[in-house]
Amino acid sequence: MRNYLKLDATMRCDVLIIGAGGAALRCAAEILEQKPNANVVALTKVSHPQKSHTSTAQGGLAAVDPKDPLDSTLFHMFDTWKGSDCTADQNVVKKICESAWEQILWLENRGMHFSRDPQGRLSKRTFGGHTRNFGEASVHRAVFEADRTGKGIMDTGWGETLKRGITFINQCLAVELLIKNGACSGCIVFRQKEGTFVKILAKATIFASGGSGQVFQVTTNCRQNTGDGLALVLQSGLPVMDPEAVQFHPTGIVGPGILASETLRSVGGILRNAAFEPFMVNYAPKMKELAPRDLVARAIESEIREGRGVMNPDHNIPHVWIDLRHLPAEVHEKQIPEVSSFFKRYVNLDPKTDLCPVRPSNHYHMGGIPTNEYGEVEDASQNIIEGLYAIGECAAASFHGFNRLGTNSILELITMGKLVADRVVAAIEKGPSHNPESDGKRFIERFSGYLQAGKKDSLGLIRSSLRRIMTENVSVFRTEKGIEEAIQILSELKVRAENTALAGRSLAMNQELVQRWELDNLLAVSMVICQAALDRKESRGAHFRDDYPDRKDEYNHHTLISMIDFGITESGRREVDMSIFKAGGEQHEKFAIIERKY
Amino acid sequence: MMESFYDITLNVHRYDPDTDKRWIDTYQVKAGRIMRFVDVLRKVNDEQDATLAWGSSCEHGQCGSCSMKINGKPLLSCELLVENAVHYFDTTTFTIEPLDVAPVIRDLVIDTDKAYGRVDKVKPYIIKPKPLGEKGEEHQISPEELERYVDATRCINCFCCASACISSHHNFLGPNAMLAAIVRVMDPREQEKQSRFDTLYSENGIYRCHSSQACSFVCPKEIDVAHFIALAKNGEIKPA
Ligand SMILES: Cc1cc2nc3c(=O)[nH]c(=O)nc-3n(C[C@H](O)[C@H](O)[C@H](O)COP(=O)(O)OP(=O)(O)OC[C@H]3O[C@@H](n4cnc5c(N)ncnc54)[C@H](O)[C@@H]3O)c2cc1C
Ligand code: SF4
Ligand code: SF4
């Protein structure tokens, strides 16, 4: 078959942002505020920036109000360090926590509709892990916009960038990074609507491409979260950091995986198995349903594995029940109205009278593209890749280590977005980029391969098999045997995918073609998750090895993993930054390697 | 015992940009009762026709990407369960069309950029922000004041209202664009009000609205869009 793919055009800009979610928009707005004439281009896979995943974040964002006499930035830093199971980088933790409130005021002054207290000031609430005096008592640290905090950030960021003349290219995929001699000159993109490939050259390229939740069968993440950023980096021979650090929420609604908040358990919801037995008492006799997230998730998964789960026939997904029937009507109406409405809307059940199906749902990827504290991307030897940055969920600086605290992610978007903007503005002011241009030809081979494959199969079914094995073997419980089996299956699926013929060969808005490309990304990301999880023979934060249930000091480091060829990986390590501890200031001992116990 | 599966028929409007051809394809699907229409479309892709194009993102009613017309009603297909659709429309046959608020790119996917162009026109941001307090502290907006317009801030730009609206989008910026403008008129942090009134009362503005309330009826976020437009018509949107 004739090789008919070609580069259709070349474009130049100052700054290219791969993504238009919360991190991307905050960064773009800052660049444009500081440098109004900058030519900033932001790409999104979705039909409009507002459709990005950040729009679904509900709960809030953590930030210590300097006016609050009870709370302090140091406490926020401690909670983050402890929550991370001592694997966050303290230089990053310090930077983010210290700049948090300033960024809240930025949002407030650009029109975000924060919820208000009776005095008309920003209202605050508490979340799991928000404490004062190093774990002594809970504090109100999260500001929020009702249950639409992420949407508030998105509307604000979109409005500001629109006002300042950004160029959005929607439904446009970054498909190949242009890297040569340790420097990045931009990327090749695929414009879905037109079906064209365009080379975009930029002085600075910023990854802000979000999470990878579609690796798992049940996830709270959106359909576009296929880990593209990580896959692109791997294809360029660069490493990803801590891919094995994946967070699961204990109660996702079956089958879509929609988040059913912790509140359900805190107001007295009871988890029951197929025989309707309340099982939490067998796992956490004292705390029962109120035990920490990861423990509850493992308890539910154990019930399912040991055959005490229930199979949902419509979605073909096993689950347990959450029983809310005994709660007074007032609790249903006043305390859990939103979640109740989710059950009604998505599974047609009334929590007042029906048992509701839940199971652990993939939620957040702590791991990502390794960067330093300025968001500059690093290679396996920790040299900076000139002109390349990463922020948001796709990046690992690392603020969250092996376990993210609720409300810390969207805080990271706005703080790191701003920090990286400062860095980028300084870099582009230095004048034209001298980063050597690389050709960017791999995409032709890759996409031609997709269009030329000739075997009858179903990409959808291959994707389902991938997501199922990752959920069954590499989610809340991991064992050597299970991970090895997953690696074997992934290799088989890779071969199947390579041979699968597409039903349509058109380039314009060919969703199947895009999904074929995404499948390659899912396969690559799954593979490095597996390899890293296999190598880490301990349990830490969200990474739980059934065969090595304890944390071990010999693993007090980040994983760096590169992929030489599919399934052939190379591992390295990066030290955890402990600068707060080492500085020896007041209370520095709280930032030593401590136990994560609540 | 309720049915656990339904045999449903989908008549889907197709469009191929390469040949500029339009046609209707019929798919028979055995669908679980609590499958959502996005799940059903995915099943069609996986098992019958991988070429059928449609859009979605968050798939739980927060992003507004999966809007389409099902049996004539503009709605979010991630929020429609098969069982509810069968009861609501009293049939197991469903006609699925793209929203008619922008040109179709392929099948059920429309050119959202074009639809958003009308929202961009009303400047969905603060043009001239009131400075922060003396010590750089946040503004004071009482919960009561926020309450007056907070519902209008909940819009996700799914364009269902614009599709249902009887006034044509060729000369009306649309109900959701009106909401975006009204929000910043009512927001005490916005100092630039006049140009906003100019947009609202322009020939593409609220006087194009015939008060049919179709927008409020279809809004998946249950925002009473027509109420806000009526407030604007009556000059009742000035900040308190
Ligand atoms: C249901 C839910 C609730 C949550 N609630 C909270 C909360 O209360 N508090 C909190 O702190 N965190 C919360 N989180 C986590 C948080 O929302 C995310 O981590 C965060 O929004 C990620 O933002 P981002 O900017 O990195 O990426 P995203 O918002 O996901 O944006 C990524 C962007 O990149 C684009 N993109 C991706 N790949 C490509 C490509 N190949 N080419 C071009 N563009 C691309 C996408 O289209 C999108 O525009 C929640 C998450 C979920 C799922
Ligand atoms: S009330 Fe006005 S804006 Fe709403 S649908 Fe009717 S004509 Fe359109
Ligand atoms: S007002 Fe409602 S129907 Fe209209 S775009 Fe907004 S959310 Fe959609």
Structural domain span for residue B193: 112-233
Task: Evaluate if residue B2 carries a pLDDT over 60.
Answer: no
Q: Across A240-294, where does the E strand assignment appear?
A: 240-241, 246-253, 258-259, 270-272
Instruction: State whether the beta carbon of B167 lies less than 6 angstroms from ligand 2.
Output: yes
Q: Clarify whether residues B68 and B177 are in a common domain.
A: no
pLDDT reported for residue B240: 57
Q: Clarify whether residues B29 and B117 are in a common domain.
A: no
Size of interface A-B (CB pairs under 8 A): 187
In a domain, B240, yes or no: no
Domain total in chain B: 2
Which of A55, A151, A348 is closest, CB to CB, to B34?
A: A348
**Domain-terminating residue out of B60, B85, B110:** B110
In a domain, A388, yes or no: no
Q: Clarify whether residues B94 and B13 are in a common domain.
A: yes
Instruction: State whether the beta carbon of A149 lies less than 6 angstroms from ligand 1.
Output: yes
Which B residues in the span 162-191 are in contact with A, Cβ-Cβ below 8 Å? 184, 187, 189-190
Q: Clarify whether residues B224 and B125 are in a common domain.
A: yes
Q: Clarify whether residues B50 and B153 are in a common domain.
A: no
Task: Evaluate if residue B149 carries a pLDDT over 60.
Answer: yes
In a domain, A372, yes or no: no
Q: Which residues of B touch A48 (CB under 8 A)?
A: 112-113, 116, 157
**Domain-terminating residue out of A332, A362, A392:** A362
Confidence class for position B239, pLDDT limits 50, 70, 90: low
What's the length of chain B? 240
In a domain, A446, yes or no: yes
pLDDT reported for residue A1: 44
Active site residue A293: yes
Q: Clarify whether residues B128 and B217 are in a common domain.
A: yes
Which B residues in the span 188-207 are in contact with A, Cβ-Cβ below 8 Å? 189-190
Q: Which of B33, B65, B132, B222 to mutate to test the interface with A (most CBs of A within 10 A)?
A: B65
In a domain, A3, yes or no: no
Point out the residues of chain A with pLDDT beneath 50.
1-2
Cα distances (Å, whole numbers) of residue A552 to A59, A415, A500, A581:
33, 32, 43, 19
What's the length of chain A? 598
Q: Clarify whether residues A351 and A252 are in a common domain.
A: yes
Which B residues in the span 63-102 are in contact with A, Cβ-Cβ below 8 Å? 63-65, 78-79, 81, 83-84
Q: How far apart are CA A265 and CA A277, in angstroms?
A: 16
Under 8 Å between Cβ of A501 and A513? no
CATH code of B94's domain:
3.10.20.30
Q: Clarify whether residues B22 and B62 are in a common domain.
A: yes
Q: How far apart are CA A289 and CA A271, in angstroms?
A: 7
* Radius of gyration over every alpha carbon of chain A, rounded to an integer in angstroms: 23
Sign of CA dihedral A153, A159, A164, A166: positive
The β-bridge partners of B125 are none
Q: Clarify whether residues B32 and B11 are in a common domain.
A: yes
Ligand located closest to A46 CA: 1
CATH code of A332's domain:
3.90.700.10
Under 8 Å between Cβ of A415 and A92? no
Confidence class for position B1, pLDDT limits 50, 70, 90: very low
Instruction: State whether the beta carbon of A410 lies less than 6 angstroms from ligand 1.
Output: yes
Q: How far is the CA of A210 from the centre of ligand 1 (A)?
A: 5
* Radius of gyration over every alpha carbon of chain B, rounded to an integer in angstroms: 20
Helix/strand/coil for B94: strand
Task: Evaluate if residue B46 carries a pLDDT over 60.
Answer: yes
**By C-alpha distance, which of A576, A597, A595, A590 is closest to A72?**
A590
- Dihedral Cα B210, B212, B218, B223, nearest 10 deg: 80
pLDDT reported for residue A61: 93
Structural domain span for residue A512: 442-552
Q: What are phi and psi of A249, to 5 degrees?
A: -95, 135
Q: What are phi and psi of A370, to 5 degrees?
A: -70, 130
Under 8 Å between Cβ of A525 and A467? no
Q: How far is the CA of B179 from the centre of ligand 3 (A)?
A: 9
| Amino acid (one-letter) located at B187 | D
Helix/strand/coil for B125: coil
**Domain-terminating residue out of B110, B131, B151:** B110
pLDDT reported for residue A502: 96
In a domain, B92, yes or no: yes
Q: Clarify whether residues B85 and B141 are in a common domain.
A: no
In a domain, A481, yes or no: yes
How far does the CA of residue A378 sit from the closest CA of chain B (Å)? 31
Q: Clarify whether residues B56 and B22 are in a common domain.
A: yes
pLDDT reported for residue A3: 56
Q: What are phi and psi of B18, to 5 degrees?
A: -70, -35
In a domain, B132, yes or no: yes
**By C-alpha distance, which of B187, B155, B180, B64 is closest to A49?**
B64
Tens digits of per-residue pLDDT, B129-146?
999 888 889 999 999 999
| Catalytically annotated residue among A26, A191, A265, A293 | A293
Q: Clarify whether residues B105 and B119 are in a common domain.
A: no
**What is the DSSP code (8-state) at residue B7?**
E
Q: Clarify whether residues B143 and B212 are in a common domain.
A: yes
Domain total in chain A: 2
Instruction: State whether the beta carbon of B182 lies less than 6 angstroms from ligand 2.
Output: no
Which of A121, A163, A459 is closest, CB to CB, to B140?
A: A121
Q: ipTM of this predicted complex? A: 0.96
CATH code of B202's domain:
1.10.1060.10
**Domain-terminating residue out of B110, B142, B166:** B110
In a domain, B239, yes or no: no
Q: Which residues of B touch A511 (CB under 8 A)?
A: 45, 53-54
Q: Is the Cβ pair B153, A506 closer than 8 Å?
A: no
Q: How far apart are CA B167 and CA A523, in angstroms?
A: 48
In a domain, B147, yes or no: yes
**Interacting residues of A137 by C-beta distance below 8 A, sequence separation 6+:** A131
Q: How far is the CA of A27 from the centre of ligand 1 (A)?
A: 14
**Domain-terminating residue out of A329, A362, A395:** A362
**What is the DSSP code (8-state) at residue A588?**
G
Q: Provide the 10 A C-beta neighbour count for residue B191.
A: 11
Which of A108, A314, A459 is closest, CB to CB, to B32?
A: A314
Under 8 Å between Cβ of B125 and B144? no
Give the binding-site residues of ligand 3, using a 6 Å CB cut-off.
Answer: B 64, 155-161, 175-176, 179, 219, 221, 223, 225
Which residue does chain A place closest to B132, by CA atoms? Answer: A109
